[in-house]
Structure 1
Amino acid sequence: SKNENLSENVRKVLAKKHRKKLKEERELYKATKAISTQNNAQRKINAQNQLSSSSFVKKMKDINKAFPHIRTKEDKNYMKENLMKIQEKVCLQKKVLEEKEEAKNKKPFKMKRFENVASKVAKNLQKAGECPLGVSKATQPKRVVTEGDEAEYEGEEAEYEGEEAEYEGEEVEYEGEEVENEEEEAEYEEEEAEYEEEEAEYEGEEAEYEEEEAEYEEEEVEYEEEEVEYEEEEAEYEEDAAEYEEEEAQHLGASRKCQNEKREDAAAETDPVNEPAKRESSIIGKLSKRGSELRSSDKEKRNNLHKNFGKLPTYMLKKKKDIVDETTDVPQGYRVLKHDERNYVLKELHSQLTEATEEYKRNKDKSKKIELGKKLKEIKESIELFSKPHVLVNENF
């Protein structure tokens, strides 16, 4: 009975553990499902963002068409980083072509010893008056075959046939080598195709990374703009607080003066002897004080009048940045580039400049350094152009 109780307890414990494990697995599954749904949603959002950014990139290409002296990474004339790889490919292809030409131009093996040797059939044909295959007409009359030499000719003919068999064997080997060369060439082409696919994937990843970097820079710029706005609002708030404190101080001063005047009036009323003289003096003093205070306040107002004269508020200034002067002479088929678009182009150019300078510092090859120097010069010229407030662009942009 004790053993049965123990076994039941063990079963219960095991069942409990199993239930707990199942529960944990269910929770894990739910959590992973939730994460996967979130990831899918994020992927959709990223895809939409990429589509919107790609349309903007197309517009940027139009800008580059409007200004042909500016070149981008997508342009064919632009210096490519994988120049060395392309040169290696070209060298390999040249080698393969040279090997093929050598194989074509290879002359078949011929023994000079047996060039003019003819078989029995050829001799019979010669006697009949027909020209044999191996012998020319010029050598026909010179050849006089005797019965004694016939045995020698037969021996030489056997040797020739043996060498001919060897030559056929060599020809078979050569054909085998040619097949191997063709197989190697096919393998090389497959490897080249794989390499091109990998290169395309790498370029795609690089483009995605650049888009993410651009988004991050835009967010950083927005954050900086918000920070600047916050600082401006804080400064305005501090100015308002200072004005409020000044007004409060003036108000307190005025209230104190009024109280003092009331006290003086009350004291004058209590003195019956010198009442009229004191009243007159107090009135004159009050008027003179008020006049001097009014003059000083008027002077301050006049001085501060022209400080904020003609100044626009901050929200108007922000809008003014986006508005472009339409009064400037713009030729047909062109328009002035907007402030935001111009800033975007400048950011891209600055990022290209930093990359190019880093490459220039790293490289030790003189030819590459010259190319990079030209590239840097072009980027600097384009930055100078886009740093101007008015930049003309195609109407389609």
Structure 2
Amino acid sequence: MMQVIRRILKKEFIQTVRDRRMLGIILVAPLLQSIVFGYAVNLDLMAQPVVIADSDRSSTSRDMVQALANNDSFAIVGHTDNPDAAEGAVVTGDAALALLIPRGFSRDVGQHDGQLLLVLDGSDSNTALRAGQEASQVLIAHALKLQRNRLDEALAVRGISLDGQLPEISIQSRAWFNPQMKTAIYLVPAVFALVLMVITMMLTSMGLTREKELGTLEQIMVTPVRPIELMIGKTLPFALIGLLDVTAIVSVAAVIFDLPVRGSLIDLYIASSIFLMTTLGLGLFISTVSQTQQQAMMTAFFVVLPALMLSGYVYPVDNMPAPIQWITVVNPLRYYIELTRGIMVKGATLVELWRSTLPLGLLGAAVLFGAAQRFRKRVV
């Protein structure tokens, strides 16, 4: 049995090396996808364009504008006297938000009744929500500071000082595992999982359907090769390629994105091997329902897209509606992303992440067994 499997393995490796397109998918695609996705998908709030409509034109209003300008999340791109023009800049996309300061704002602040209006581009709800929260925090903090200064000045005239008499609350926050709150630290492990799924599933499905197109699968089946030997010989090379891609992507994460594996590399390879059981099983199943490589590729993407959307790739699964969360229970990509983030970012072990390790192992065994049974029936 082992001799037959070794011969099939040798044939697969020779065939893969000769196929330049397949070689590109194996070696170049994972690295390029990891780098491009890691840089392109950025949820950080940086230099959001802001248009100011200051109808008050007071030192207080200018201080408020300066407080916003001093924040790296915003960039003042224009000033106008007309609030309608500022709102129009949001409509045309020239600004992500507009700050409208009404006439008499400085006087109202002195009477503890100042009001500002932030107009946000809600077409991008995620960015609008974060920009609105950030801008509100900056403006409210500065307004409170102005009111405190005015109160101190008024009391100083009467010879009264509040220094040390009012309670001051200081809140310190510490972000573990990602102190600078970089999006790449959060997304790169997920990109790693996605790329591994796409590459191994497509290679497996296309490799077997290629045999159908060339008519060599029927030639193999008239030989004494058993279905189990053929299946192992066909899928094992892609499992080894998948583990090779793991090494390459981990190196890219460490060198380019400054994300070394904080946990055990052994745990990461074990988790990857379990995940490969599901991707190879899915690729094997796709090969049994596809007659051409084009069909296999389209079917693979049909599987990948919903798996990606329901994996917690960008947005947590807990934020999804309850019925959708139940669907994600059978999504192996969800569990593997949780494992890669836990091992790479947090330094956790597979035992500590058992809530993801156990379901992924069960799914891997079930998918691979089901695909093997279908493959055996198809080739017998």
Question: Could you state the TM-score of these two structures normalised by the residue count of structure 1?
Answer: 0.25
Which has the larger strand fraction? 2
- Higher Cα radius of gyration: 1
Which has the larger helix fraction? 1
Question: Could you state the TM-score of these two structures normalised by the residue count of structure 2?
Answer: 0.25
